[in-house]
Amino acid sequence: MTLRLFSGATLFTAVTAAVSAQTPAPATPDALITAAKRAAGADHAGTFLRICVAPDNLNVGGPRAGRPGPRAVPDRATWYAKPYRVFDNLYFIGTRIHSAWALTTSAGIIVIDTLFDYATEPEIVEGMTTLGLDPRDIKYVLISHAHGDHDQGAALLQSRYGAKVVMGTADWDATLQRAASAPGGVPKRDIAVGREGLKLRLGDSIVDVIATPGHTPGTLSYFFPVKDAGRTVIVAYVGGTAFNFPRQAANFEIYRDSQRKMTEVAEAAGATVLMSNHTEFDRAYDRARIAQLPRVAGEKHPYETDTATVGRYFEMTGSCAEAQRLLVQ
Ligand SMILES: [Zn+2]
């Protein structure tokens, strides 16, 4: 009897699945936003709000549309964060708002993102020194995209320590057009990453650099292993998030396709940690500090989730981009 009920239920499920496969629900902006909200769940709710509910590029000509002129350095008390060792080989050297990381390897250090120019010395240079890392060991500086909050420290790390700067080809083109007097200066072109991406090897480590155009034309995202008390976990690092580009269908399409690519790579890599370059999107500032607390047996690292949760992030961002693409068409 139990068996019969089971097979009946299985058959019903199979028939339902076959029918829905034949007649997929039409993809409407509303349906996509509902799907994105479900995918976001509680894990990615803040990012969902920022790009799906109130995208930055909704108000063309609004206060965010133009780049301001000279920028005052904000009060240090509003942004300064202490540096923390977060994984065995990954150190948080960012501010309360923007992330920068030092990934240590057997042959030197890879710095990921470099903050505004005013934060480079106190957070990256002094932060590394406080943690017992020598900035002279920096071999590569990975820039997720060429906006000032992530790239203004690149020229200093390149000129002072001889680090090689890695950036998307299109973002190099934009960077090299800056005036020499731009905050932080202008780095010299080192390694340009095209659509094919790059496997960046240093010592015992490898960073899988993925071209994810969208937020900027040269945005780069990363996959790399880190160790949590000797155990390897895979990080998916999102290089650009907000919809701050011109509100055109083609731009949303490019962004959407990058999210689909990230979904595939994240699944193949088995990524269980989702990181972003803005702390509002991955709670880096909180998680870096929580990581300092002792854990009870079996308790996960505060950054570790599972592959499904990481996958739902990219499902959400992809659906939000597709919803906006349909809305502006
Ligand atoms: Zn940006």
How close is the Cα of 208 to the center of ligand 1, in Å? 21
| Partner residues linked to 102 by β-bridges | 91, 111
How close is the Cα of 298 to the center of ligand 1, in Å? 37
How close is the Cα of 200 to the center of ligand 1, in Å? 23
How close is the Cα of 171 to the center of ligand 1, in Å? 11
How close is the Cα of 150 to the center of ligand 1, in Å? 8
How close is the Cα of 145 to the center of ligand 1, in Å? 7
How close is the Cα of 196 to the center of ligand 1, in Å? 21
Using only C-alpha atoms, the chain has a radius of gyration, in whole angstroms, of: 21
pLDDT at 53: 87
What is the number of alpha carbons within 13 Å of residue 35 lying toward its C-beta? 18
How close is the Cα of 242 to the center of ligand 1, in Å? 7
Tens place of pLDDT per residue across the chain (329 aa): 334 444 444 444 444 444 445 556 669 999 999 999 999 999 999 999 988 888 888 765 444 434 445 567 999 999 999 999 999 999 999 999 999 999 999 999 999 999 999 999 999 999 999 999 999 999 999 999 999 999 999 999 999 999 999 999 999 999 999 999 999 999 999 999 999 999 999 999 999 999 999 999 999 999 999 999 999 999 999 999 999 999 999 999 999 999 999 999 999 999 999 999 999 999 999 999 999 999 999 999 999 999 999 999 999 999 999 999 999 98
Which helix (H) or strand (E) segment holds residue 207: the answer is strand 205-211
How close is the Cα of 246 to the center of ligand 1, in Å? 13
How close is the Cα of 251 to the center of ligand 1, in Å? 15
How close is the Cα of 278 to the center of ligand 1, in Å? 9
How close is the Cα of 127 to the center of ligand 1, in Å? 23
pLDDT at 83: 98
Residues 6+ apart with CB under 8 A from 83: 91, 92, 93, 123, 127, 128, 130, 131
Q: Are the C-beta atoms of residues 40 and 311 closer than 8 Å to each other?
A: no
pLDDT at 57: 81
How close is the Cα of 147 to the center of ligand 1, in Å? 5
Q: Are the C-beta atoms of residues 269 and 310 closer than 8 Å to each other?
A: no
How close is the Cα of 241 to the center of ligand 1, in Å? 7
